[in-house]
Amino acid sequence: MSHFVAMTTIVGTAGSGDAPWWQTAVIYHVYPRSFMDTDGDGVGDLPGVTSRLEYLVGLGVDAVWLSPFYRSPMVDFGYDVTDHCDVDPLFGTLADVDELIARAHQLGLRVVLDFVPNHTSDQHRWFVEARSSRQHPRRDWYVWSDPAPGGGVPNNWRSEFGGPAWTLDEATGQYYYHAYLSEQPNLNWHHPDVRRAMFDVLRFWLHRGVDGFRLDAFRRLYVDLSFPDEPENAAYDPAVDNESFAVVPIHTSEQPELFDTVTELRRWIDGLGDHVLIGEIYLGVEPLMRYHGTAERPGLHLAGNFNLLWTNWDADSIADLVTAYESALPGHAWPNWVLGNHDRSRIASRVGERQARVAAMFLLTVRGTPTIYYGDELGMSDVDITPDAVQDPWEKNVPGKGFGRDPVRTPMPWDLSDHAGFSTVAPWLPLGPDHERRNVERQRDDPTSMLTLHRRLIELRRTVPALALGAIDAVVAVEGVLVYRRHVDQQQVFVLLEMAGRPVTIHMDSLLGTDALPAVEGIDAIEILMSTALDRQGVEGTAVALRADEGLVIGLLHAATPGH
């Protein structure tokens, strides 16, 4: 077996037939500003999302998660909230949310909201009161510190968006802490009234019928209130890294109280029905596991797994990642995978257009709940934003280092009409230069388009139970091809993903003769269930010829296989 580059047997176990919806679901992430504008202001809105729900049904997804639409001065585009229980007029009204939820449910779609528990806007009534005086009963809803003994910031804590994580409130002479912008003061989750208020927010939305929450900036809810300096990070490279990497956030993330809150939240929400909690948790495999809790002290339903965002896109690295992740997951936990979101470079830009198809096949056939970022199903890329068009506060704070998120938040191209059918006026961010070619109308009926690929892969997931809930094993990198098996009961399928950009033949019979697959008998032929090129299907010999950048889902045929 000299051609084996890496070989590991791992077993991510199969889910059960009565699995909760969020285990079998495909989640679709909508950034409402950029999905569909119905009131002609160049910014997407909630009626816009509602008007496009049928599209999502056609695509085959099960749930839609919406980035924030709450009242906000929009300094961080809605992640700076002034009222967690109301809708910003830019996006519509509470009645529009009700309408969206009702229509989604009618269509069989679940609705997941973005919950922003870590901070509010500095314009939020709570913060306005808190900063009004040191004696105000609301003061301790936020995190305050006196200046350092000689003056200046209390310690070395850094903001994610550049600069210190402390801003002086001149009127009261104390600094307040903000993990993100100074316009986003952190709530003090140690305060029981804060916790109560935030649980009330969740209750408010659950009563309106939502099916779950994505928990924004979740690692950061608690900080060490004795405010020790963070240790320096030896790996920090100021030339390329985000400034916050200069320190290791051991006093501002993963505080012990957070995990009590996780369990409390999980037990509480499970007591109310069939909901999902998805954490935004940027962590490597091992530290991420803590968020799953234990069988006795449950954690989040889905601990956001963002490891694909920084893992090299090659068969060895991805095989290692899948193996490490699946081996680390506790038995009670369920995996999930994310290829992109509103904060990170799009997959098509990271790996190229051809590999983006392979990535789609990976996302929709690997074990775990997949999340698709809007537009990735069309193969949208990052869009160049000229300096005068920059909107993102991060880019404004730290220009030119590539942190800006505008490129991944450009409008969804729907059709060939003006502004790609997104709006009747020039949108808040430019459309991609390829929107006349790359849009829903063009791709919908094209039998080999990226959109059709997504639709067909989702359909395959529905019809092949091994893909939705089956176990995963035999994760191998062989000659630049990532191979894995999914199986449940008597059904098994293999996924072969050519990731090195060159044609290669994989001999399934010799692959199956190895220790990696002790359970598999010899085979007579394979059946191609789907190619990423969407141009071939059917029975072939056991030597599988993959074209460059091709992914295949295949079944195995034994002599005894009916019909063979």
Residues that bind ligand GLC (CB under 6 A): 76, 79, 116, 180, 216-217, 280, 342-343
The reply to whether 280 belongs to the active site is: yes
Closest CB 216 distance from ligand GLC, rounded Å? 5
Q: Kindly tell me which of 120 and 365 has the beta carbon lying closer to ligand GLC.
A: 120
556: left (phi over 0), alpha (psi -120 to 50) or beta: beta
Q: Which of 211, 216, 343, 473 is catalytic?
A: 216
Whole-angstrom distance between the N-terminal and C-terminal Cα of the chain?
29
User: Which of the following is catalytic: 280, 326, 382, 550?
Assistant: 280
For the residues of 132-191, what is the DSSP string, one character each?
A: H-TT-TTGGGB-EEPPPTTSS-SS--B-TTSSBSEEEETTTTEEEE-SS-TTSPBB-TTS
CA-closest candidate to residue 377, choices 331, 417, 413: 413
**Residue 267, phi then psi, degrees to nearest 5:** -65, -40
Q: How far is the CB of 278 from ligand GLC (least distance, A)?
A: 12
80 vs 320, which CB is nearer to ligand GLC? Answer: 80
Helix (H, G, I), strand (E, B) or coil at 320: helix
Q: Which is nearer to ligand GLC, 343 or 376 (CB)?
A: 343
Distance in Å, CB of 425 to ligand GLC, minimum? 25
Give whichever of 76 and 320 is closer to ligand GLC, judged by the CB atom. Answer: 76
CA dihedral 315, 492, 521, 563 (to 10 degrees): -120
Tell me which residue has its CB nearest to ligand GLC.
Answer: 79
- Quote the tokens at residue 384: 């160049």
Q: Which element (helix H / strand E) includes 322?
A: helix 315-328
Cα torsion 454, 456, 461, 466: sign: negative
Of 305, 380, 293, 300, which Cα lies nearest the Cα of 338?
A: 305
Q: Which is nearer to ligand GLC, 88 or 343 (CB)?
A: 343
- Please say whether the dihedral angle defined by the alpha carbons of residues 530, 531, 537 and 542, taken in this order, is positive or negative: negative
In angstroms, what is the minimal distance from the CB of 80 to ligand GLC? 7
Cα separations in angstroms, 503 against 462, 479, 529, 530, 547: 30, 10, 19, 17, 4
419 by DSSP, 3-state: which? helix
CB of 71 to ligand GLC, least distance (A): 15
- Taking Cα atoms as reference points, which of 532, 515, 531, 522 lies closest to residue 556? 522
How far apart are CB 184 and ligand GLC at their closest, in Å?
6
Question: Please, which residue, 217 or 557, has the CB nearer to ligand GLC?
Answer: 217
The contacts of residue 550 (CB under 8 Å, 6+ apart) are 358, 498, 531, 532, 533
Q: How far is the CB of 280 from ligand GLC (least distance, A)?
A: 6
Smallest gap from Cβ 475 to ligand GLC, in A, equals: 29
Q: Which is nearer to ligand GLC, 197 or 539 (CB)?
A: 197
Give every CB contact of residue 470 below 8 A, 6+ residues apart in sequence. 14, 15, 367, 486, 487, 488, 491, 492, 493
Distance of CA 100 to the CA centre of its chain: 22
* CB closer to ligand GLC, 57 vs 398: 398
Task: Between 169 and 280, name the residue whose CB sits nearer to ligand GLC.
Answer: 280
- 171-175 long-range CB contacts below 8 Å, 24 or more apart? 171/131, 172/131, 172/133, 172/134, 173/146, 173/147, 174/134, 174/144, 174/145, 174/146, 174/147, 175/144, 175/145, 175/146, 175/147
Handedness of CA 127, 128, 129, 131 (dihedral sign): positive
We find the least distance from the C-beta atom of residue 116 to ligand GLC, in angstroms, to be 6
Catalytically active residues are 216, 280
